[in-house]
Amino acid sequence: AEAFTPDTALINFYDDAARMGMHQDKEERSGAPVVSLSIGATCVFRFGNPEGRGQPYKDVELVSGDLFVFGGPSRFAFHGVPKVYAGSADPAAGMRAGRLNVTLRETGLS
């Protein structure tokens, strides 16, 4: 297996009303996997296909502590967050509300 050496970390905060439309992460020059860590509120993560924003896609509930990895043929799949569940933040995460998403990537730019 190849070593995964991320050179970028992106941290997004989603309040309880936040949404993120379907998009691709394709600014990188590397096809290495994207690693995404959820902290706080539960959300619906919509994981689609590389061809477009529409179906087929799969909705997955991510809870605090979940790690989602997409690579290989799915690396450039469209994805988004259509819903954050208000009031679902795990008190153990130290958050009263909202969700943090930490995304690690290997950009191939450095």
Query: Which helix (H) or strand (E) covers residue 104, if one does?
Result: strand 99-105
DSSP characters over 17-64: T--EEEE-----S--PPEEEEEEES-EEEEE--SS-SSSS-EEEEE-T
Q: What is the pLDDT of residue 63?
A: 95
pLDDT for 31 equals 76
What is the pLDDT, as a whole number, of residue 1? 54
- How far is residue 45 from each of residues 21, 67, 81, 102, measured CA to CA in Å? 10, 12, 5, 14
pTM as predicted: 0.85
Which residue positions in the chain have pLDDT lower than 70?
Answer: 1-2, 28, 110
Residues 6+ apart with CB under 8 A from 91: none
What pLDDT is attached to residue 10? 93
Q: Residue 12 gets which letter from DSSP?
A: E
User: What does the pLDDT read at residue 21?
Assistant: 93
Q: What is the pLDDT of residue 73?
A: 84
- Span 18-29, pLDDT tens digits: 999 999 887 767
Complete domains list, the chain, with CATH: 21-105 (2.60.120.590)
